Chain A
Amino acid sequence: MSLRNSVNRPPTPDAVEDQEKEPTLQEIINIKMIESGEKEKLMELLRERLVECGWKDEMKALCRAYIKKKGTNNVTVDDLVHVITPKGRASIPDSIKTELLLRIRAFLASAAL
């Protein structure tokens, strides 16, 4: 490599795209919730509600059915996550969504965001 060429070389592009854009509102809320410990509390609450209403059992049954269909050795955790996630998201009871939304709103009000 001669010195002449290096002088005219265009600037090296970044290997990794720097995504330090302005943080979105969602990100700010998320950070605040994690820092205050509220997120952990809400996660625990969500887990409790999903078990109570039988959602977890239903997801387990769906997983078992899928594994049975494909064969135990032909399924990975990633497969299951991909298959079950859309069904899981779709079957969350409205009451649980409402409850969590209210809690988040209350948090936002108290954190003066």
Chain B
Amino acid sequence: MYTNPKPCKHLADYKLRHGLSGYNLLQEQIRTTPSGKSSVKNHQTEIPRCCFCNGYQKRLYLCLICSSISCSSHTLLHSQCENGHDIAVDIERSELYCVLCCDQVYDPDFDKIVMLKHLMDLPRSGNGVDVSAGRRSSKRRRLCSALELDLKKTKQLVSMRDLRAKSCYPLGLRGLNNLGSTCFMNSVLQALLHAPPFRNYFLTGQRNHEVCRKRSSDRLCLLCDIYVFFSAVFSGDRTPYSPAQLLYSWWQHSANLASYEQQDAHEFFISVLDGIHENGVKARNTGECHCVAHRVFSGQLRSDVTCMSCGYTSTTYDPFMDISLNLDTGNCPSTDLANKSLKPSDNTYVSTLLGCLDLFTKPEKLGSDQKFFCENCQERQDSVKQMSIKRLPLVLCLHIKRFEHFPVRRMSRKIDRYMQFPFCLDMNPYLSSSVVRNRFGNRMFAFEGDELDTSTEFEIFAVVTHSGTLDSGHYVTYLHLKDQWYKCDDAWITAVEEEVVRASQCYMLFYAQKMLYYKANEDLVCQPVSPRADPFLPIAGCC
């Protein structure tokens, strides 16, 4: 959360008396390195020294009023000698310091001036920083369409209750029969059944399958089959369902994956979304697709490649339907066996989702074989690449790369390493605005029109887990509905404690924007418990 901290009274006094004049005078002397560090450098290559002790090795501060330099031990002395000389600049970092508070202070006006100088110094505007205000209109439109998917005729859900529902389990919990190593499909379908806007789209009749042109001409339509599937699962009938029609329909779409062999759940997920996209509303030339798959799952990634010689940054944007993450193992890239490791032992390092996300957004030095052609230098240079999230989707699917393939050795293996994941996730630190901001030190400058009106808080609603080996494994999904976790193992659904979920080996994590998740949970109507129902018995076969 980047709210500007209030200035201390000394900074406020300074601003009243001097306004921006001190900052503007300083601007000329600021230099920024290619890596983003801004320092105050005089024209002479003289070493800055403290005017009291002549020292040059401590942090040095330049007085904004009289430009005299003091080291950290003598800033107070300077302020005592000269009345009102309370605000200084850390020479090495170009950051404001209040002598009387003995602390760093922040002023967006100051940071703006520092960044403007940085921009002016670069030959072109390719520094990865867009000073203009963000395009708010498109953001508001996205939010409205999200609510649309959600609020439209939600009362329809209530009318679909079937009297055969016996227990107080939420709607939409139904076992799925395994049709021959199809747990990869069942696990993903369970997650899709409860992705809030996705679920609402198919249940509130926005998909009108009566007038589907494909079906009327006896051709297969994946969207229609999904609609039928949703209706069946939410009908209230608790007997396990066989999604044979859907499986067949999907085979038609992904012919190369059509077999009774175990497939990868993530591949299935991507291929289903792709099928929905192909079958859905054709995108207009505006570039943003309005099919339900894109509206729910698509976001945008930003990739910055920075030349290490001159600092020129090339930025590209790419859409994504999910994010694949490498497991963070806590190993340092610089392998030095003689070097004493900072962590006690690699074996005790626990991988976490936040660690994986940190790894994903970490600046990565590109190898010497991947030299990037810098527009500014007009030659190939060593560069640094950094990923960040420009726009978050309504439902975020995070895929953990557990299957390692070695094309050279022609073998694959599974990584069984445990990864800890949170139930509530704040994606703010991984947004482009946060990541780009951090490149330039401690700045209070708004980058890329900070996404202040979009929420970055997500709640988990489904976890697809994998157990076993690459060749013979099993997928199970855990669903989080109305504060209760349910284990969906093909046809068997059981209520479980959250510790079970936390200890599981996650493969795909599904998070929904907080507001959508809570709204969706309100819609799931329960019937009162019948005296015979035992909440710990599996639902399958209890009728």
Q: Which of A31, A47, A93, A94 has the most CB of B within 10 A?
A: A93
Contact B334 A52 (CB under 8 A): yes
Asked whether any CB of chain A lies closer than 8 Å to the CB of B347, the reply is no
Please judge, given known A-B contacts A77-B97, A91-B342, A95-B336, whether A16 and B47 are in contact too, CB under 8 Å: no
Please judge, given known A-B contacts A34-B45, A44-B35, A53-B339, whether A78 and B72 are in contact too, CB under 8 Å: yes
Binary contact track A43-58/B, C-beta < 8 Å → 1, others 0: 0100101001111001
Contact A52 B333 (CB under 8 A): yes
Asked whether any CB of chain B lies closer than 8 Å to the CB of A14, the reply is no
Asked whether any CB of chain A lies closer than 8 Å to the CB of B140, the reply is no
Binary contact track B500-512/A, C-beta < 8 Å → 1, others 0: 0000000000000
Contact B52 A76 (CB under 8 A): no
Asked whether any CB of chain A lies closer than 8 Å to the CB of B59, the reply is yes
Contact A78 B332 (CB under 8 A): no
Q: Which residue of A lies closest to B55 (CB)?
A: A19
Q: Which residue of B lies closest to A18 (CB)?
A: B54
Asked whether any CB of chain A lies closer than 8 Å to the CB of B1, the reply is no
B contacts with A, residue count (CB < 8 A): 26
Could you tell me which residues of chain A, from 36 to 71, have a CB within 8 Å of some CB in chain B?
40, 44, 47, 49, 52-55, 58
Q: How far is the CA of A91 from the CA of B45 in the complex (A)?
A: 32
Cβ of B338: which chain A residues have Cβ within 8 Å of it?
A: 94-95
Please judge, given known A-B contacts A53-B332, A78-B103, whether A58 and B56 are in contact too, CB under 8 Å: no
Cβ of B330: which chain A residues have Cβ within 8 Å of it?
A: 54
Contact B334 A53 (CB under 8 A): yes
Q: How far is the CA of A19 from the CA of B53 in the complex (A)?
A: 8
Q: Which residue of A lies closest to B332 (CB)?
A: A53
Please judge, given known A-B contacts A76-B101, A77-B103, A78-B103, whether A30 and B336 are in contact too, CB under 8 Å: no
Instruction: Kindly identify which residue among B51, B53, B339, B343 contacts A95, using a CB–CB cutoff of 8 Å.
Output: B339
Contact A53 B342 (CB under 8 A): yes
Contact A94 B340 (CB under 8 A): yes
Q: Report the minimal beta-carbon distance from A45 to chain B, rounded to whole angstroms.
A: 11
Asked whether any CB of chain B lies closer than 8 Å to the CB of A81, the reply is yes
Asked whether any CB of chain B lies closer than 8 Å to the CB of A35, the reply is yes
Q: How far is the CA of A76 from the CA of B76 in the complex (A)?
A: 15
Please judge, given known A-B contacts A16-B52, A34-B45, A78-B72, whether A55 and B342 are in contact too, CB under 8 Å: yes
Cβ of A94: which chain B residues have Cβ within 8 Å of it?
A: 338-340
Q: How far is the CA of A4 from the CA of B102 in the complex (A)?
A: 48
Q: How far is the CA of A53 from the CA of B334 in the complex (A)?
A: 7
Q: Which residue of B lies closest to A19 (CB)?
A: B54
Q: Report the minimal beta-carbon distance from B218 to chain A, rounded to whole angstroms.
A: 61
Contact A31 B103 (CB under 8 A): no
A contacts with B, residue count (CB < 8 A): 23
Asked whether any CB of chain A lies closer than 8 Å to the CB of B316, the reply is no
Could you tell me which residues of chain B, from 29 to 60, have a CB within 8 Å of some CB in chain A?
33, 35, 45, 47, 51-54, 56, 59
Asked whether any CB of chain A lies closer than 8 Å to the CB of B386, the reply is no
Please judge, given known A-B contacts A16-B52, A77-B97, A78-B102, whether A35 and B340 are in contact too, CB under 8 Å: no
Cβ of A40: which chain B residues have Cβ within 8 Å of it?
A: 33
Asked whether any CB of chain A lies closer than 8 Å to the CB of B104, the reply is yes
Q: Which residue of A lies closest to B365 (CB)?
A: A48
Contact B334 A35 (CB under 8 A): no
Could you tell me which residues of chain B, from 96 to 128, have a CB within 8 Å of some CB in chain A?
97, 101-104
Could you tell me which residues of chain A, from 1 to 49, have a CB within 8 Å of some CB in chain B?
16, 19, 30-31, 34-35, 40, 44, 47, 49
Contact A30 B339 (CB under 8 A): no
Cβ of B35: which chain A residues have Cβ within 8 Å of it?
A: 44, 47
Instruction: Kindly identify which residue among A31, A49, A54, A58 contacts B47, using a CB–CB cutoff of 8 Å.
Output: A31
Q: Report the minimal beta-carbon distance from A92 to chain B, rounded to whole angstroms.
A: 10
Cβ of A49: which chain B residues have Cβ within 8 Å of it?
A: 334
Q: Report the minimal beta-carbon distance from B78 to chain A, rounded to whole angstroms.
A: 12
Q: Which residue of A lies closest to B45 (CB)?
A: A35
Cβ of A19: which chain B residues have Cβ within 8 Å of it?
A: 53-54
Q: How far is the CA of A44 from the CA of B333 in the complex (A)?
A: 18
Q: Report the minimal beta-carbon distance from A32 to chain B, rounded to whole angstroms.
A: 11
Q: How far is the CA of A35 from the CA of B343 in the complex (A)?
A: 38
Q: Report the minimal beta-carbon distance from B343 to chain A, rounded to whole angstroms.
A: 7
Contact A76 B103 (CB under 8 A): yes
Q: How far is the CA of A44 from the CA of B101 in the complex (A)?
A: 31
Contact B54 A93 (CB under 8 A): no
Q: Which residue of A lies closest to B333 (CB)?
A: A52
Cβ of B56: which chain A residues have Cβ within 8 Å of it?
A: 30
Q: Report the minimal beta-carbon distance from B354 to chain A, rounded to whole angstroms.
A: 13
Contact B342 A58 (CB under 8 A): yes
Q: Report the minimal beta-carbon distance from B298 to chain A, rounded to whole angstroms.
A: 32
Q: How far is the CA of A91 from the CA of B343 in the complex (A)?
A: 11
Cβ of B52: which chain A residues have Cβ within 8 Å of it?
A: 16
Contact A44 B33 (CB under 8 A): yes
Instruction: Kindly identify which residue among B33, B45, B332 contacts A52, using a CB–CB cutoff of 8 Å.
Output: B332
Q: Report the minimal beta-carbon distance from B341 to chain A, rounded to whole angstroms.
A: 9
Q: How far is the CA of A69 from the CA of B357 in the complex (A)?
A: 27
Contact B104 A77 (CB under 8 A): yes
Q: Which residue of A lies closest to B92 (CB)?
A: A43
Q: Which residue of B lies closest to A21 (CB)?
A: B54
Cβ of A31: which chain B residues have Cβ within 8 Å of it?
A: 47
16 contacts between A and B (CB under 8 A): A19-B54, A40-B33, A44-B33, A52-B332, A52-B333, A53-B342, A54-B330, A54-B332, A54-B343, A58-B342, A77-B102, A77-B103, A78-B103, A81-B59, A95-B334, A95-B338
Query: A interface vs B, CB < 8 Å?
Result: 16, 19, 30-31, 34-35, 40, 44, 47, 49, 52-55, 58, 76-78, 81, 91, 93-95
* Beyond known contacts A19-B54, A54-B343, A55-B342: 13 more, CB 8 A cutoff: A47-B35, A52-B333, A53-B332, A53-B339, A54-B330, A54-B332, A76-B104, A77-B104, A93-B339, A94-B338, A94-B340, A95-B336, A95-B338
Query: B interface vs A, CB < 8 Å?
Result: 33, 35, 45, 47, 51-54, 56, 59, 72, 97, 101-104, 330, 332-334, 336, 338-340, 342-343
Q: What are the 3 A-B residue pairs with the smallest beta carbon separation, nearest first?
A: A76-B103, A95-B339, A77-B104
